[in-house]
Chains A and B, each alone.
Chain A
Amino acid sequence: MTSFSLTARALPALTGRVRAAPAAWSFIAVGSLAVAVYFLLPPDAQSIYYVALGLGAVVAVFVGTVRNLPRGERLAWHLFSLGLLGQVAGDAIFAVYEVQLNREPPVPSIADVFYLGGYPLLALGVFLILRRLGGQTGRAAVLDTLVVFCGVVLVQWVFFIDPYNHVHFGNEAARLVSMAYPAVDVLLLVAVAQLLVGPGGRTVAYRLLLASFSLWVVADEIYGLNASSYKGGSWLDAFWLAAYVAWGAAALEPSMARIAEADRRRLPRLTTMRLALLSAALLAAPAILLLERIAHHRVHSYVLGFGGAVLAGLVLLRLGGLVRAVERAGRAERLARREAEQAQRLLAHQNEHLLELDTLKDEFVSSVSHELRTPLTSISGYVELMLEDENDEQKRNYLGIVDRNAERLLGLVSDLLFSARLQGGKLELERSEVDLHRLVLQAVESARPRAEVEGVLLTVAADNVPPVSGEAVRLAQLLDNLISNSIKFTPRGGRVSVYLSARDGLVRFEISDTGIGISREERERLFERFFRSQSALERQIQGTGLGLYISKAIVEAHGGRIGVRSEVGEGTTFIVELPAAS
């Protein structure tokens, strides 16, 4: 049953993966092939083919999103679709110019609106995904992001944006648009950094997404450095096309539904990657300064000075947060230690108290027993005296009743005292080698008068058995309990048989009767303290419900087992097995 339900539960996940994963890998395989084909085509065909490839990626992202994510969780990936669609639209306009008009579109053109508009959507998608995973919205994480952002801005400004200020453009709009590309790349760069330091436990989809962003941003940066010499169909296109393929595959991979393990830490983990990124960002200003000096380039002193100052400020804030976190942890630790010490003291105190209570209980039980036995001494003593002097049969009869009941009361007091000691877990045996053969015969002999009074035939068949290691007084008590129990529950004319034998290092005795029997339900509770069977209550058979409880405790203290076989109306057999002394 269990294995079945396990399989049934595991099945959808398994088949789901087996069915869907190839979609992602097939997409990569086909995509790679398609990218290779791109470089074999003539220029005009390339332009159209490029648009087609981009469109394929957009469709893949859309299909994967709809397929893998429930409605309501699709926003981030739809933003990717839309952002990529912007690029494809830009490319399409380019293609129209190149194929139809045989020239590139003017700068600026409507294509730039689509290209530039796509970037914020892509970055926003990453932001939404990471926010859902957590670990990115705490104060420290935001400061880290800002540090990386500053570093990236410095690099972008000095090497990619500012150069356009020193180039001759036909119009200012063209200059601004040219500068806008490296500016929006800042968004992608920060998104990549965020993905890099994102939560651990990443899925295949996460890695694919990271790959696509990285490829895209690397292509953009290389393009930015050689913007003037770039021609459509260059090897650089492979980066953008590969990014398209990775994006589509990421969306088709079913693991995109749970893209990484959520991270609910207040402070982000200071991984090597995070440290490397932060160091790189911090070193941006001095590194640029050195590079410019060495290259005899115009030094961006204001920008670098200002950027360095902002970075220093951010680092100070971050450091302050760390110091406070350390202080908080220290306070929490001191508090926890104080609480632990307090708890320990309390525990020690309670322990002492329990020991005291235990002693008190022992004392109480012992003095109650004493106080009950004292009047019983007078009752039994004087009744015994009167019985000796009394000749009147009826009076002797009455006195016998008083005597038997005093005897019963005494048994009850002894059992209560004994079971109170068992409750304290205190049955310690004074062990010696006990001859059960002799003990069984003695027990049977002392029970014989009682059996005769009750009209029960008592027989014994005792083998010579090896001695057991135990306490003779307790074992005699056990035998007395079991034998007198059987006599008590056996109607007049019945029979109680005691057997003793040994086998395989175990000494075994059975006390078998032809009594009223015990039902299955009651057999389970038979050895519980104060348990009395329904038939015993109905037949008003006297007892306290302690005898079998005590018997079991004695057997267990001797390392043995006690069991019962019974048939209602047929009789009952108690079986005790004790290990023979080795």
Chain B
Amino acid sequence: MNDGPLILCADDDEDILSLVSLRLERAGFRVLQAIDGDAALEAVRSKRPALAVLDVMMPKQTGYEVLAALRADPTLGALKVILLSARVQEADVERGLDAGADAYLAKPFKAADLVAKVQELLGA
């Protein structure tokens, strides 16, 4: 089993969720999964991952909303967040970065780009 840092992956599309998880596991990270915004928030609060990869368009709470809630929680100051979205217009990217995301990656993504970004943010 992996013993790298714990990462939360949240996406309502299960195929993509599996893909992202698999890529990160192969890179040596431990992975938590969530299939909507509520579950993502709940998982971050209970499991305290080092980094969260959030989809933007999710049911219950969007990635933006989850991000806002996370950034509003002073106990989660160290948490890194990557938004991974098929919304790729400048306005969307800007909104994500303004809301406090550490990075914004577009779907479809190259596995190497995702892993590199995660490693960069975790200083690994």
Interface residues of A (CB under 8 A from B): 366, 369-371, 373-374, 376-382, 384-385, 406, 410, 414, 417, 430
The one of B19, B22, B108 that contacts A410, using a Cβ cutoff of 8 Å? B108
Asked if A377 and B88 sit within 8 Å, CB to CB, the answer is no
Tell me if B32 counts as interface (CB < 8 A to partner A). Answer: no
Task: Knowing A370-B57, A382-B19, A385-B19 are in contact, say whether A377-B86 is a contact too (CB < 8 A).
Answer: yes
In whole angstroms, what is the CA distance A346 to B108 when docked?
45
Tell me if B95 counts as interface (CB < 8 A to partner A). Answer: no
Closest A residue, CB atoms, query B57: A370
B71 to chain A minimum Cβ distance, whole angstroms, is: 24
Task: Knowing A374-B16, A385-B22 are in contact, say whether A406-B86 is a contact too (CB < 8 A).
Answer: no
Asked if B16 and A377 sit within 8 Å, CB to CB, the answer is yes
Asked if A374 and B86 sit within 8 Å, CB to CB, the answer is yes
The one of B22, B87, B111 that contacts A366, using a Cβ cutoff of 8 Å? B87
Interface residues of B (CB under 8 A from A): 13, 15-16, 19, 22-23, 57, 85-90, 92, 106-111
Closest A residue, CB atoms, query B56: A370
The one of A366, A376, A381 that contacts B19, using a Cβ cutoff of 8 Å? A381
24 A-B pairs (CB sep. < 8 Å): A366-B87, A369-B86, A369-B88, A370-B86, A370-B87, A373-B86, A373-B88, A373-B106, A374-B86, A377-B16, A377-B19, A377-B86, A377-B109, A379-B108, A380-B108, A381-B16, A381-B23, A382-B19, A384-B110, A385-B111, A410-B108, A414-B88, A417-B88, A417-B89
A549 to chain B minimum Cβ distance, whole angstroms, is: 19
A56 to chain B minimum Cβ distance, whole angstroms, is: 92
4 A-B pairs with least C-beta separation: A373-B86, A377-B107, A377-B108, A378-B15
In whole angstroms, what is the CA distance A374 to B109 when docked?
11
Besides A377-B16, A385-B19, A385-B111, 16 other CB < 8 A contacts? A366-B87, A366-B89, A370-B57, A370-B86, A373-B86, A373-B107, A374-B107, A376-B107, A377-B108, A378-B16, A381-B16, A381-B109, A382-B15, A385-B22, A406-B108, A430-B90
In whole angstroms, what is the CA distance A425 to B85 when docked?
25
In whole angstroms, what is the CA distance A410 to B106 when docked?
12
In whole angstroms, what is the CA distance A430 to B90 when docked?
10
Closest B residue, CB atoms, query A372: B86
Closest A residue, CB atoms, query B107: A377
Residues of B close to A377: CB separation below 8 A: 13, 16, 19, 86, 107-109
The one of B19, B22, B23, B108 that contacts A373, using a Cβ cutoff of 8 Å? B108
In whole angstroms, what is the CA distance A369 to B87 when docked?
7
In whole angstroms, what is the CA distance A434 to B123 when docked?
30
In whole angstroms, what is the CA distance A17 to B3 when docked?
109
Residues of A close to B15: CB separation below 8 A: 378, 382
In whole angstroms, what is the CA distance A385 to B92 when docked?
28
B74 to chain A minimum Cβ distance, whole angstroms, is: 33
Asked if A384 and B111 sit within 8 Å, CB to CB, the answer is yes
A375 to chain B minimum Cβ distance, whole angstroms, is: 8
Residues of B close to A378: CB separation below 8 A: 13, 15-16, 19
In whole angstroms, what is the CA distance A378 to B18 when docked?
10
In whole angstroms, what is the CA distance A384 to B23 when docked?
11
Closest A residue, CB atoms, query B114: A381
Residues of B close to A373: CB separation below 8 A: 86, 88, 106-108
Question: Which residue of A376, A380, A410, A430 has the most chain B CB atoms within 10 A of its CB atom?
Answer: A380
Residues of A close to B88: CB separation below 8 A: 369, 373, 414, 417
Asked if A381 and B86 sit within 8 Å, CB to CB, the answer is no
B12 to chain A minimum Cβ distance, whole angstroms, is: 10
In whole angstroms, what is the CA distance A382 to B16 when docked?
9
B56 to chain A minimum Cβ distance, whole angstroms, is: 9
Closest A residue, CB atoms, query B90: A430
A384 to chain B minimum Cβ distance, whole angstroms, is: 6
A33 to chain B minimum Cβ distance, whole angstroms, is: 93
In whole angstroms, what is the CA distance A410 to B22 when docked?
23
Residues of B close to A369: CB separation below 8 A: 86-89
Residues of B close to A384: CB separation below 8 A: 110-111
Residues of B close to A374: CB separation below 8 A: 13, 16, 86, 107
Closest A residue, CB atoms, query B94: A430
B86 to chain A minimum Cβ distance, whole angstroms, is: 4
Question: Which residue of A370, A379, A410, A414 has the most chain B CB atoms within 10 A of its CB atom?
Answer: A370
In whole angstroms, what is the CA distance A499 to B90 when docked?
31
Residues of B close to A366: CB separation below 8 A: 87, 89, 92
In whole angstroms, what is the CA distance A369 to B89 when docked?
10
Residues of B close to A376: CB separation below 8 A: 107-108
Residues of A close to B13: CB separation below 8 A: 374, 377-378
Residues of A close to B57: CB separation below 8 A: 370
B53 to chain A minimum Cβ distance, whole angstroms, is: 13
Residues of A close to B109: CB separation below 8 A: 377, 381
In whole angstroms, what is the CA distance A370 to B89 when docked?
10
Residues of B close to A370: CB separation below 8 A: 57, 85-87
B31 to chain A minimum Cβ distance, whole angstroms, is: 15
Residues of A close to B22: CB separation below 8 A: 385
Residues of A close to B107: CB separation below 8 A: 373-374, 376-377
Residues of A close to B87: CB separation below 8 A: 366, 369-370
In whole angstroms, what is the CA distance A414 to B19 when docked?
23
Residues of A close to B23: CB separation below 8 A: 381, 385
In whole angstroms, what is the CA distance A348 to B87 when docked?
33
Closest A residue, CB atoms, query B106: A373
B77 to chain A minimum Cβ distance, whole angstroms, is: 30
A515 to chain B minimum Cβ distance, whole angstroms, is: 30
In whole angstroms, what is the CA distance A225 to B87 when docked?
104
B46 to chain A minimum Cβ distance, whole angstroms, is: 28
In whole angstroms, what is the CA distance A366 to B90 when docked?
11
A389 to chain B minimum Cβ distance, whole angstroms, is: 11
In whole angstroms, what is the CA distance A377 to B90 when docked?
19
B123 to chain A minimum Cβ distance, whole angstroms, is: 26
In whole angstroms, what is the CA distance A385 to B86 when docked?
20
In whole angstroms, what is the CA distance A382 to B106 when docked?
16
Residues of A close to B16: CB separation below 8 A: 374, 377-378, 381
Closest B residue, CB atoms, query A371: B86
